[in-house]
Amino acid sequence: MKIGIIGGTGGMGKGFALRWCKKHDILIGSRDAQRASDAAKEYSDVARQAFGNIGGAISGADNLSVAKQSDVLVLAIPYENIDSVCPELLANVRDSCIVISPIVPMVKTDTGFEFIPLKEGKQFAHQMVQKYMKNKQKLVSAFHVISEKKLVDPKFVLDYDIFVCGDEKESVDVVNSLILEIEGLRPIFLGPGALAYQAEIATPLLLNAMIKNKLKNPGIKIL
């Protein structure tokens, strides 16, 4: 399977690439194709040092090229970039492409991390991305509450639950399988995309708990 990562040169992109390259071909996307290619080479070297031989390849290209080739496309982009990035890219994905949104609409204020849709009355991320989808059923929200610092360490065993929201069982099942491929993660289905705000709002909640209680890269686990 070809997994494309838009914003793949960031920490989350690196983490996903390292965790999934053992079984899948990873396409690192960036506005700058050379930067994407350089990042892909770096990730490949790190992956081989960590795992030896890997089953997939890691390559880099511009965002549009990545979107056109992907079977699964991860949008590792900021909330404020949705309207500038998604129209062109999502218009060019394959009809069968599953799109994963880990995007969180939050802002840091004097009070703490706040959820933008509540604070400013704006749409939550799943809603904003979905309006640009050719097949809206192919959008799945997941991976909002995960420590980037731990994700990028390929040897670190995670122990988190990942909230998942989506409208099509087939697409949700594919995302669940990708979650389970990362050792220590467990998918927790919350419901359709209309409930994705519940997964998104968990991130500012977790960050506020981390800062106020001096926790180190915490995650969420349902017991």
pLDDT at 115: 97
Stretch 1-28: mean pLDDT: 96
Q: In 10 A of CB 107, how many CB atoms?
A: 13
* CATH 3.40.50.1000 assigned to 2-212: no
Average pLDDT of the chain? 95
Residue 150 confidence (pLDDT) above 90:
no
d(CA 98, CA 107): 28
Stretch 127-142: mean pLDDT: 97
pLDDT at 53: 85
Strand ranges in the chain using DSSP code E only, listed in sequence order? 2-6, 25-30, 58-62, 72-75, 98-101, 106-108, 113-115, 139-141, 160-166, 185-191
The answer to whether residues 4 and 73 touch, using CB atoms and an 8 Å cutoff, is yes
CA neighbor of 58 nearest in space, from 5, 135, 119: 5
